[in-house]
Amino acid sequence: MHCCKKVSLFFAFMMTCLLASASDHHVIIKSADLKSSGEAYILNADLEISLGEKVEEAINKGVPVEFVYEFKLVSPRAFWFDKVVVKTRTRITVSYHALSRQYLVKQSERQTSHEILREAMIELVQLYDWDVFERALIEKGRGYQAILSMHLDDSRLPKAIQVEAIRSEDWHLASEDFVWKPKVKWLPEILNQ
């Protein structure tokens, strides 16, 4: 009986250590929503991201790290594969510029600068007004499912770090798919309102 208690305490300690090391870096999509804006739908999302020591260290040394946000709008079908109506992605790059001592965040043509990494991270965890699809793609009488995911693109890292990224869990930073049923309206219904 005494031996069983020691074994169970050992396993509890090991699980705690594994969970602590696993939680060092993570991406969780907390919420996402589609809103109509003119002739398009825009996406807003809130995430929780912990980069982990290795990724933060690389950014602080001037390595540009790129994150990919992928959105899909699908129409579920009962007897066949779901129909992918929209599949789009955006990239956000975070880097450190040593001369200006600024963290740079670049998304498409937009670039911002920040004095500390925590401020730059706000641009990664709060995704606002991303134009994801045109209203004309919505069909009357169809149900839709929206899917959002995010991951660190290790293929864009410098070659020396890519080799390390293959072997190390520290560089495998990705969210699970965030799936929801958006409230989207067929275009003529919108025009009649």
Q: Hey, what long-range contacts does 34-38 have (CB within 8 A, 24 or more apart)?
A: 34/132, 34/146, 34/182, 34/183, 34/184, 36/135, 36/184, 36/185, 36/190, 37/129, 37/131
Other CB atoms within 10 A of residue 104 CB: 16
pTM of the model: 0.81
Name the nearest CA neighbour of 55 among 189, 184, 168, 183: 168
Determine contact, residues 193/162, Cβ cutoff 8 Å. no
Q: Residue 136 CB: number of other CB atoms within 10 A? A: 10
- Give the domain ranges of the chain: 25-191
Task: Tell me phi and psi for residue 141, to 5 degrees.
Answer: 80, 0
Sign of CA dihedral 87, 88, 93, 94: negative
pLDDT tens for the 193 residues of the chain, in order: 444 444 454 444 444 444 444 447 899 999 999 999 989 999 999 999 999 999 999 999 999 999 999 999 999 887 888 899 999 999 999 999 999 999 999 998 899 999 999 999 999 999 999 999 999 999 888 889 999 999 999 888 888 787 777 777 888 899 999 999 998 886 655 444 4
